[in-house]
A and B are shown apart, each in its own frame.
Chain A
Amino acid sequence: MKKLLTGNSAISLGVMLCRAEVISAYPITPQTTIVEELSEIVADGRLKARFIRVESEHSALACVAAASAAGARAFTATSSHGLAYMHEMLHWTSGTRLPVVMVNANRAMGSPWNIWCDHSDSLSQRDTGWIQLYCQSAQEAIDTVIQSFKIAEEVLLPVMVLEDGFFLSHTSEVVDVPEQNMVDSFLPPFRPRFKLSPEEPHTFNIMADPSMFIHFKHDAQQAMNQAKKVIARVDREFKARFGRGYGYTGNVRMSDADVVLLTLGTAASTALEVVDAYRKRGKKVGLCRLRMFRPFPSEEIGRLLGKAKKVAVLDRDNSLGAGGIVAQELKAALYGTVKKPRIFEFIGGLGGRDITPRDIGEIFNYTMSHSGPDGAPVWMGVKK
């Protein structure tokens, strides 16, 4: 059924359709309305779940991780500082191979104080062992939540679904909300092989000594490798049932593009308009929206971008002392490939600053007019 929904509302309905059994979260802007709506959904009986109030994000994730270990389908949501506060438990959740699904409404990390969108919060957590899927629309957000439970429960890794704070979380769009019976047939109940149960007692997270520890980490890496295939397969299955698929990347006019813009999240919607305008003017530009950041689709992206001469990476984040995180990941992925496009790095949209069509145009113009990058990322809107 089609509804006019914000990203947060779409996500709440997605969690309901997935029949999450335990929800625990601590409110933080711009995630808050997800939790609010879910609490109402649970309170009025539309979803039979335990909604557990906690005093912090660390506890929220500890809570859903424990619920997941006990065999419950568990969901949490957070943003920015809340995600940072979860940092320790992010490692524990993935280390315990618990298929928790979390939505993070992307928001800048302070200081200075800021409640608006950028990707520095979730990209700071790239090494915590979570699958990360970045969404572009409310429709994609609800669909990705549904996909995520299926992916997580198959590969036993937690999934972080990312939505741009306010740009997506608080903007209403028309969303085709899947029917419950369709979701039920797509997503079977969670039946873990091992769970906390008095009938069959296990201690989770017992100590692994130096001889064993590396094996668990290697196994988790194998699972992450496998996740790539599972993510692709689940996306295909989803498309077959619901008519919508997303891939690892969203690609526009890539087949013959000389200059490709690569970015994450809602900025790609803006870029789409610009690409079309430039194409009309005969400029061979294309757009690659990276949806799957973890696992990083190195081989696929290498093949995809190998045809382009130049790639402009727009990072909505910055790793101080290194540059844009997406750009670094991309450069590392392309290192072993034969055909390497030149990488132009742009930092923009930090702390909620709009990325306008004019900004995107500037990025294309700069990239087209320069034979190569001049060594340092270009900071959009900042005078040199």
Chain B
Amino acid sequence: MKKKTAKKPAALKKPSVRAKKPVQPEPSLPPMSLSFDGTLATKTGTWRYLTPTYLNKLAPCNEACPAGEDVEAAMVLSGQEDYIGAWEKITRENPLPRVCGRVCFHPCEGSCNRKEYDEPTAIQALERFVGDFAFQAGKRFSPPAEKKNEKVAVVGSGPAGLSCAYHLTSLGYGVTLFEALPRLGGMLRYGIPAYRLPKDILDQEIDQILALGVESRTNCRVGKDVQWEELKTYDAVFVAAGAWKSLSLRVPGEDSAGVMSGLTFLKKVNSGEEVDLGKTVAVIGGGNTALDAARSALRLGAKPLIIYRRTKEEMPAWGEEISEAEEEQIEFIFLSSPLRVLAENGKVRGIECLKNLLGPPGKDGRREPRVIENSNFTLAVDSVISAIGEAPDLSFLPSPLPKSGNAIPVDEAGATSLEKVFAGGDAVAQPRTVSYAIGSGKKAAMAIDATLRGENTAEAIRLARWGGKGSLSMAGYRSGEGDGIARQVVQFPELNTAYFPRQARKPKERLTPEQRKKSFSEIDRGLSSSSALYEAKRCFNCGVCNLCDNCFFFCPDLAISARPDGQGYEINYDYCKGCCICVEECPRGAISVEVKK
């Protein structure tokens, strides 16, 4: 034992150099642990179980636009003060930016993510700015690159017909517009008052479309001035004749002198005809026609009384129209229904009404009015404008085309049951707005093109889808890059709002109510160039990479680099370890995460 313990220290005292050397020579180490192949040798991508990808998503404004405008792209370009580029983006989809910039009910703003933060971006005002800017800069539509032999007849020259004509012409087709009234524009010209849409602006927009080579035949009512048989000589027909038939009040005295429909009144005013309303005019209805009629009557010097059977809450007119009418001190008489028109010598002298209560909600969710017995009251008026709704006049259509109620039945591609006959606008069952009409005209153009080229029309339309709300992209259709996959729409929580200061929306500059009462001058004065740029820059650019560099700066693995085409970034998955800091730091939710290697 003693010997053994004595030997141990001796063994330890061996020359340390020899003791250190194992049988296999140790590799010579650098003083610190470091790689010799550089960073690239460590492929941290193998650690990844979450995978970020650039998945340009759909901005909610794009999805919401019934005309299928690439709003988001136009906002990016406007933010770079490239208003011409923005105009080109918009007019790729919609030939009427100056019209929509004035009269569209802007569902884009209603779905704008910015409204969750402060106030929605002023998209509509910016569209108007872009349209006016491009027009004043002399920008006009480019003529079609090719000419096709096929010819298409378009019945109706409202927003649907104009949109269809524009897109078909751009695709190379010959187009003839058939318009029953003396001038083109349909409801844009004859329905919408000049204080909302100045006629010179409309003329300029229409002239641009005609300049592409669109033929037009005005004062040419189908079934009267031209027969359906002649339309059948065209390779395809698009029916967008609108909804011009006013619903009757169905009360006694309705046929007295001084009673007219809202559309008749507006058509006269917009045609420059003299209309004598007397001192006081009762306007029946709560929709846009009623409000346009009442506000036009005010400008003609009459005192309008809007009689509506429900309350302000249930009015189908747009909020802006209602608030502007209120500013103009137009009187509303709610919860009242006309019982009879009182006439003297066949001439209106008053209107007798009944008061209503609101009952439970009806089919459309709005509370139904219930008449209160013996609540009769009388208003002394000199004229009555009835604006309780419109329906399409489909009497000109050939008998084989079924007419279901107030609309021409169409399939998802806008095709009727007649071969190569398509329909859109207010004549079909869809919301009766300018932008929906424009969207349906575009859809018809795609469907007609696909049909005439012998392609599967429904599939072609499906591939051009923007999002889940039926909007279509002509750019996607024409490039053939549309995949028809309803792209994910960016929601507000996906944005990193830390990058966006809170900024108030630029209020509209408008004529004062006093100024408005005197003339039909346009109320809205539009955005100044500085306000337009401010609004464009307020845009979150939801879901789309706008080259802000954040992902590039934040990636701890240097796995993100600019794409060779300079149009975005790409991720090197050999090194991306899936920390997803890029996803978090992308201000606009343009990067998505997938749970996979």
Contacts and interface: CB of A to CB of B under 8 A. Distances in A.
B29 A194 contact: no
Contact of A205 (B34, B38, B41): B34
B430 interface: no
Q: From B26, B32, B33, name the one whose CB has the most chain A CB atoms within 10 angstroms.
A: B32
Contacts of B37: 201
The 6 lowest CB-CB distance pairs between A and B, nearest first, are: A201-B38, A97-B31, A203-B35, A202-B34, A97-B32, A96-B32
B42 interface: yes
Interface string B37-69: 111111000000000000000000000000000
A203 B41 contact: yes
A200 B39 CA distance: 10
A156 B31 contact: yes
Interface residues of A, number: 22
Nearest to A198: B38
Contacts of A95: 32
Interface in A156-196: 156, 193-194
A206 B38 CA distance: 10
B38 A202 contact: yes
Contacts of B34: 194, 202-206
Contact of A206 (B26, B31, B40, B42): B42
B19 to A, nearest CB: 12
Contacts of A206: 33-35, 42
A215 interface: yes
A216 interface: yes
B30 interface: yes
Given A203-B41, A203-B42, A206-B42, A215 B26 contact: yes
A220 to B, nearest CB: 8
Size class of the B contact interface (CB-based, 8 Å):
10 to 19
Contacts, number: 53
B32 A205 contact: yes
Contacts of A223: 31
Contact of A203 (B26, B29, B31, B39): B39
Q: Is the contact region of chain B dominated by helix, strand, or loop, or is it mixed?
A: loop
A339 B456 CA distance: 104
Given A201-B40, A206-B35, A215 B29 contact: yes
8 contacts: A201-B40, A203-B34, A203-B39, A205-B33, A206-B42, A215-B26, A216-B29, A216-B32
Nearest to A205: B33
A96 B31 CA distance: 8
Contacts of A98: 32
A216 B33 CA distance: 8
A202 B32 CA distance: 11
A205 B39 CA distance: 11
Contacts of B36: 202
Interface in A341-380: none
Contacts of A216: 29, 32-33
Interface in B1-40: 26, 29-40
A37 B303 CA distance: 82
Interface in A38-65: none
A62 B32 CA distance: 16
B155 to A, nearest CB: 68
Contact of A219 (B29, B38, B41, B42): B29
A202 B36 CA distance: 6
A223 B32 CA distance: 12
Interface string A93-108: 0011110000000000
A201 B42 CA distance: 12
A67 to B, nearest CB: 15
A322 interface: no
Contacts of A97: 31-32
Q: From B29, B33, B42, name the one whose CB has the most chain A CB atoms within 10 angstroms.
A: B33
Contact of B31 (A202, A205, A212, A219): A219
Contacts of A200: 38
Nearest to A207: B33
A96 B32 CA distance: 5
Nearest to A215: B29
Given A194-B30, A202-B34, A206-B42, 7 more contacts: A194-B34, A201-B39, A201-B40, A204-B32, A205-B34, A212-B33, A216-B29
Contacts of A320: none
A208 interface: yes
Nearest to A195: B34
Nearest to A201: B38
Contacts of B32: 95-98, 156, 194, 204-205, 216
A194 B32 CA distance: 9
A207 B198 CA distance: 72
Contacts of A201: 37-40
Nearest to A223: B31
B302 to A, nearest CB: 71
Nearest to B38: A201
Interface in A89-121: 95-98
Contacts of B29: 212, 215-216, 219
Nearest to A95: B32
Interface in A212-269: 212, 215-216, 219-220, 223
A194 B30 CA distance: 8
A227 to B, nearest CB: 13
A202 B35 contact: yes
A201 B36 CA distance: 7
Contact of B33 (A156, A193, A208): A208
Contacts of A193: 30-31
A219 B33 CA distance: 11
Contacts of A205: 32-34
Contacts of A203: 34-35, 38-39, 41-42
A200 B40 CA distance: 12
A219 B29 CA distance: 9
Interface in A291-333: none
Nearest to A196: B34
B303 to A, nearest CB: 70
A215 B32 CA distance: 10
A61 to B, nearest CB: 16
